[in-house]
Structure 1
């Protein structure tokens, strides 16, 4: 599976169908930053058993789920949202998606239940690649680079199906991959 797109903020990485690394098996990673120094992103389809109130005491009133953003810095909290009109902050990732923002404003909004769960994703940790590492993995067909054709797909409630839906959304060239078994030895 050759990817023609290059990684950049706002694009997604889709793991190859037989990746066995438990951190990235059938994962979709939203890229937040891609520079010469490296790449940072968040796995958007690995939900934890935690709610945001379990992680941040000031957010006790909120019941938003927390996702595992990746294996790096799992003691850090990050967020991606599509409610710039409320937060008035965040790095623009395109398609109405924003990374981070003013934490004090976020606290007030969550305490007042003003942000719907379908408009924000919280992540413990992140996925990171050093200089050239992600490009090497793409060259080895570990990842497909895709565009976010519509941001609703990243806020899908069915985490199990998200990988499959994103692959199908890439078009007929990739759609058949969505039916590959998770373990090729069972084929």
Structure 2
């Protein structure tokens, strides 16, 4: 099963190099249960390190209970999402800017893709929220050592595709993995209903 869904599906497709602002979409049948049906937004990608946040896993921890200063700008559900297994005590902020905002004019915002930004949470909320239509906070992140992510992509564990601003602030009922798969070239939309656990099929 692993060989079929990795080598014969993702490895047969044209590859895109990962970079900040791209999505890593977990292969159907992802061998790591921790990342099954994950959609990871790459925040930084260099020759030394890659890190990103998983956009699909949310916790039951309310933002109001831990970072109340950010709650009014956060989209619903106003909870902390689980960005990944590394440093779960740290928080990563991602946001979508209002149309026409000059991202480069705000030193607290780092552009990842069209209207999609990484927030410098060391600043005060009022330095950023006026430029945003919404934000989401993530506890922890995913991280890859030099060469590790490329090996996983070549093995067929991940499909790399551009992110859309709405991916970060998707509504709570959205199945983001399926939605991202459906907008890819064929045959990926055919696998958009692939279950997390084959026993559920």
TM-score (norm 2): 0.78
TM-superposition CA deviations, 1:102-151 (whole Å, max 9, x none): 533316777xxx688x6111000001000000000001111111112x32
Tell me the number of residue pairs that the alignment of Structure 1 and Structure 2 aligns.
Answer: 182
Report the counterpart of residue 35 of structure 2 in structure 1: 24
Unpaired runs of 5+ residues, structure 1, are none
CA distance in structure 2 between the partners assigned to 1:49 and 1:102 by the alignment:
21
Report the counterpart of residue 106 of structure 1 in structure 2: 125
Report the counterpart of residue 161 of structure 2 in structure 1: 146
- SS of residue in 2 equivalent to 1:126: strand
Change (3 A) 1:50 1:8: same
Q: Is the 8 A contact 2:31 2:157 kept in 1?
A: no
CA distance in structure 1 between the partners assigned to 2:142 and 2:121 by the alignment:
22
Q: Is the 8 A contact 1:69 1:126 kept in 2?
A: yes
Task: Give the deviation of 1:21 after TM superposition.
Answer: 3.1
- SS of residue in 1 equivalent to 2:42: strand
Q: CA RMSD in A?
A: 2.7
CA distance in structure 1 between the partners assigned to 2:73 and 2:64 by the alignment:
6
Task: Give the deviation of 1:83 after TM superposition.
Answer: 2.9
Task: Give the deviation of 1:184 after TM superposition.
Answer: 3.4
Unpaired runs of 5+ residues, structure 2, are 1-9
CA distance in structure 2 between the partners assigned to 1:125 and 1:79 by the alignment:
10
- SS of residue in 1 equivalent to 2:168: helix
Aligned positions of 1:128-167 closer than 5 A:
128-148=143-163, 150-158=164-172, 161-167=175-181
TM-score (norm 1): 0.83
Select 2:56's aligned residue among 45, 60, 68: 45
CA distance in structure 2 between the partners assigned to 1:86 and 1:55 by the alignment:
30
- SS of residue in 2 equivalent to 1:165: helix
- SS of residue in 1 equivalent to 2:156: coil
Change (3 A) 1:104 1:35: closer
Report the counterpart of residue 15 of structure 1 in structure 2: 26
* Range with bigger deviation, 19-28 or 43-52: 19-28
CA distance in structure 2 between the partners assigned to 1:163 and 1:37 by the alignment:
28
CA distance in structure 1 between the partners assigned to 2:128 and 2:200 by the alignment:
48
Q: Is the 8 A contact 1:90 1:102 kept in 2?
A: no
- SS of residue in 2 equivalent to 1:23: helix
Report the counterpart of residue 65 of structure 2 in structure 1: 54
Q: Is the 8 A contact 2:58 2:82 kept in 1?
A: yes
